Structure 1
């Protein structure tokens, strides 16, 4: 058979073919899932003659025609597995937090109150409160409603803020309920803008689940 005629007949057969996309993809899936064979039977090398190259080219043209007509496009198969429940991280403790300026604040002194309300016991807790370093800000103290011996407390000065941190000691727990952490400081006379003051609360449950809460303390300190 003449090569031109063979090429034409292959292309016509390809154009007339209606591929079964679902079946083709299923075969690809089976091929990917099959374990590699221990050994493959060696095949004798066969010289590639000019006619064999022509036939291969014609087959490639026909296959290209089939793919073009059928609209089949195979890229990358997503074979990512779904992690079993035992490998998923445990959910963190259920809790909410709210930062407010204490009504006892005045034109020279202020107190920021952070209320953390937990619905389940907490075995790990870190509370950070950052008071933006506005004019005249100087730390005057801090307190919390939980027992003092349960926490390690630090108050450090950074270039842009006073940073208060309460860290629950190992082996201690915080029961469900409302717990307050307060920071106190002097400031320049007048109404201090507290909109840049922030808090971060990291809670850890008994099963290792972790939750993080973030927020601020509002706009200004009441004037008295």
Structure 2
């Protein structure tokens, strides 16, 4: 086989590859559960014939494609940002389909403000803490449906205690409030709100959700979340 044929054969092998997502997820779950060491990559001996080298290279390309497919699926379209702990929304609108609204001293509720209108809206996050928090990150995700653009945000806690950002990835407008090191959040009910313009008409918030990650003063972590859709 001529060396110049190798790129074409590799492209053909990569194009014909169809990753088995369910099988990949099952393997990852077994690995996370400690179900044995990861499989080793077997390399052909240096004396392998040319067709063996092509077969090994093709298998390597397929392996890279499969790993890339799983990585994209796991990322859930979040894009590059600091916190990757938030799972993408499920078909029911709740992040990952498993996030609870109450965990230990924390409880959260997400709702669209009743003063929103046909061109502008505000999404409210109500956070209740029954004990002080030493660390807190609130992440509000607004699905980029027609015309969604940021118009600002606010929180009921002191402005100087938080680092605030408003960014976009391929799917969401993301508001993030992060408690600064050395600051704390007292027990009580606190509000975080993100504001945005949108296309004319009533906007469906079913794809919007919030995630909250905190560390209690005792050092124990807690996390909660909620969706904004009508099926919450």
After TM superposition, the score normalised by the length of structure 1 is 0.56
- For 1:157 and 1:208, the matched residues in 2 are separated by 32
Aligned counterpart, 2:121: 110
Are the counterparts in 2 of residues 93 and 122 from structure 1 also a CA contact under 8 Å? no
- 2:138 corresponds, among 112, 127, 131, to 127
Q: 2:194 aligns with which of 176, 183, 192?
A: 183
Count of residues in Structure 1 that have an aligned counterpart in Structure 2: 129
Q: Name which of 205, 221, 230 aligns with 1:194.
A: 205
- Structure 2 residue runs of 5 or longer lacking an equivalent are 1-102
After TM superposition, give the deviation of residue 93 of structure 1 in Å.
5.2
2:218 equivalent among 195, 207, 214: 207
The alpha-carbon deviation at position 117 of structure 1 amounts to 0.4
2:112 to 101, 104, 112: 101
Q: Name the counterpart of 2:23.
A: none
Per-residue deviation, residues 103-158 of structure 1 (Å, max 9, x unmatched): 11000000000000000000100000000000000000000000000000010011
Question: Does structure 2 conserve the Cα–Cα contact (< 8 Å) formed by 1:129 and 1:163?
Answer: yes
Per-residue Cα deviation, 1:172-220 (whole angstroms, up to 9, x for no partner): 1111110000000000000000010010000101222001101111249
1:15-70 per-residue CA deviation (whole Å, 9 max, x = no partner) reads: xxxxxxxxxxxxxxxxxxxxxxxxxxxxxxxxxxxxxxxxxxxxxxxxxxxxxxxx
Q: Partner residue of 1:216?
A: 227
Contact conserved, 2:113 with 2:122, CA < 8 A, in 1?
A: yes
Supply the distance in 1 between the matched residues of 2:157 and 2:128 (Cα, whole angstroms).
12
| CA RMSD between the two structures | 1.4
CA contact (8 A) 1:122 1:175 kept: yes
Please, which runs of 5 or more residues in structure 1 have no aligned partner?
1-91
Match of 1:143 in 2: 154
Which position in structure 1 is the counterpart of 2:100? Answer: none
Contact 1:200 1:214 in 2 (8 A): yes
Q: Distance in 2 between matches of 1:93 and 1:141?
A: 31
In 2, the alpha carbon distance for the partners of 1:191 and 1:147 equals 32
Equivalent residue number for residue 172 of structure 1: 183
